[in-house]
Amino acid sequence: MLVRKANNQDFPEIFSMGFDTWGQEGFTKEQHVEFCYKRIDYKYKYGHWYVLEEHGSLKSSLICYRNAFGLLPGAVGVGSVATLPAFRNQGFMSHLLKQAIFMESQAVDLNYFILFSDIDPYVYQKIGFIILPNELQKCEDSVIMILPVREKFESILSKNFSVPEYF
C-alpha cells in the first residue's frame, strides 16, 4: 500500500469515492464529480489531499486543512475521508489516516487533529480520536472529534478552544 499526496489525475476518482454518502439527491455520479470540481476553488484549495493506492488503483482519500474554516493555529482539520464502496471495512481508511497523521505531524506547531465524523465514531476512536463533550457538538449529523498530538485533551479544551465550521 502506498500513501501519497494526490495529483490532478486522481480527482475524478477521489470525488467519486464519497458519492454514496455526500452525493446530491438526484445527481448521477458524473454530476457529483462535476459538482466537486466546482468546489476546488473555494473549498478544496485550502488543503492537501492524500490517497491510498494499492496495485495501481486508489482505494481511499482524505484532505487535511490548516488555517481555514476557523481552525485555530496548531490544528489540522481532516475532511472528506472516503473509501470506494468495494474496499470498505478492509482497513484502507485506517491505514491512510494513520499515515496522513504521521506526515502532517512533522510540523512543529501542530497540537491536534479535528474531524467531523459522519460514520460510527468508533472507527476513529480506535485510532485515538476523542469525542468532544456534548456542549461542543454543533452538528446534528456529525460527531466532532479531536486527536491530541503534543498536548493532553483537557489542556487543549481549557485554552481558547473553539469548534471550526464544518469542512
Residue 159: what pLDDT?
Answer: 81
Domains (range + CATH), the chain? 2-158 (3.40.630.30)
Contacts from 97-104 at CB under 8 Å and sequence distance 24+? 97/62, 97/124, 97/127, 98/127, 99/3, 99/50, 99/52, 100/3, 100/50, 100/62, 100/64, 101/127, 101/147, 103/3, 103/50, 104/64, 104/76
What mean pLDDT is predicted for residues 100-109? 90
Please state the pTM of the whole predicted model: 0.88
Predicted confidence (pLDDT) per residue in 37-87, tens digit: 777 666 777 899 999 999 999 999 999 999 889 999 999 999 999 999 899
Greater pLDDT, 26 or 110: 110
Residue 150: what pLDDT?
Answer: 84
